[in-house]
Amino acid sequence: MVRVLGIADSDSYLKWSSATLAAMPADWQTEQVVVTNPIQPSAAQVAHAAGDRPVRVLSLARLAAWLLTHRPDVVMVACTGPVVQAILSLPYLRRGDRRPVLLTGLPGISIPATVRAVEFRAGADLFLVHSVRERREFAAIGAARGIELGFVLASLPFVRRADEVAGEHSERADRVLFAAQAKVPREPEQRRAVLTALAASPRLRPVVKLRAAAGEEQTHRERWPYPELWAGLVAEGAVQADAVEFTAGSMELALRTTAGFVTVSSTAALEAMGARIPVLVLGDFGVSAEMINLVFTGSGCLGTLDDLRAGRFFTASTEWLAENYFHPASNNDWLPALTALLERRGRAGLPGREPQPVGSSRSRSRWLLRLLLPETAWLTVTRLRARIRRLRRRALSLRGRTLRVDQGRQPLVDVGEQRHH
């Protein structure tokens, strides 16, 4: 029996990891853990992401001990880049003929492919990508950097096609669902513009689908949460308090009563496309790598806030779908590649893997501390660092003022210098 361990560190990676484990052969034994860290998911997020799958929470030290005791055949490291690097640096995963096959990947849209994403994961054997375009771009980076990493194709596991969700989509769908994201759009005014456009939706009931409930962590820090911005708009009298609804929880369930889907760049747009729900990707704030929506160029789904106000949504082109995340399932080669490595491991063992150091030694140490320290201790360290930075800025500011004052005074002549002259 093949034993597989999935390791995640945040809600989005846990969702991807659990779904990928579920896509493995039924006779494989799979387990899921979350490594303790400052952005680990709450119990509610775990339930939404993993469903009925039991999830164990382990510190990095306990994870290392668990690996040595249980010795799984496959380890899937589904984490943010620095955490992947820290885990792949564990001696048991790097060396020895009986080391497990190391699998990694990214949980959603990964266009454009980045060098850092590849470098952080260079210690793995296989890197799961989810579209023909992703494989082409990531493989080009790996070849250019001389990184021997197998880029294998797998359908995004939580993107189900229309024939799979037949009968689940309610005929009473009456909502326009906006998928919120932590990183984009960046400015509070841009986010307020989205909210006011949603509130003006003419026919459909506007709902903001949040990535996390209040107090829960996300993969990326959200500086301007939508509920807070909405409360400000209500206080200003710009909108009616009940004009927009906010919800968290399962995206799959939320889509069942959705008639139109809108986002800036969320991977959930693919889930909506798979369910044949019309989509609007907002391009008002830019279409670029920074906005994480470059991939939608040519899809036919890019539009504006005016489209949202008018209730206009679009269907992606067939050509774009084939190139981006909706290739035929028969093209997926990740399981054959994984099986081939397992057979090679059984016959002669696998060669050692060496993670590629990314970033400065200081940044790597900081990330390791985040994994090793208890959450309360890390929060204390973070507060101390913030206080030191404030004191340093204040000292520099005072020094600058002192220098300006000194420069405005007449220079003092040294008595010894007067005597010399």
Backbone φ and ψ of 92, nearest 5°: -60, -30
Burial class (CB in 10 A: 0-12, 13-18, 19+), 288: middle
Q: Where are the domains of the chain?
A: 3-158+328-358, 175-323
Compute CA distances 35 → 78, 90, 180, whole Å: 10, 14, 26
pLDDT digits (tens, 9 = 90+) for 250-308: 888 999 999 999 999 999 999 999 999 999 999 999 999 999 999 999 999 999 999 99
Beta bridge mates, 78: 8
CA distances from 150 to 129, 207, 261 (A): 10, 41, 35
Beta-carbon count within 10 A of 138 CB:
23
Does residue 64 contact residue 90 with C-beta atoms inside 8 Å?
Answer: yes
Decide: 178 and 263 in contact? Cβ < 8 Å: yes
Assigned fold of 3-158+328-358 = Rossmann fold (3.40.50)
Candidates 294, 303, 299, 300; CA nearest to 320 is: 299
From the candidate CATH numbers 3.40.1350, 3.40.50, 1.10.530, 1.10.3470, the one assigned to the domain spanning 175-323: 3.40.50
DSSP 128-167: EE-SHHHHHHHHHHHHHHT---EEEE---TT---TTTSTT
pLDDT < 50 stretches in the chain: 162, 165-166, 220, 411-421
For 148-203, how does the pLDDT look when each residue is reduced to its tens digit (9 = 90+)? 999 999 999 888 764 554 455 555 578 999 999 988 999 999 999 999 999 998 78
pLDDT at 404: 61
In this chain, the answer to whether the domains covering 3-158+328-358 and 175-323 adopt an identical fold is yes
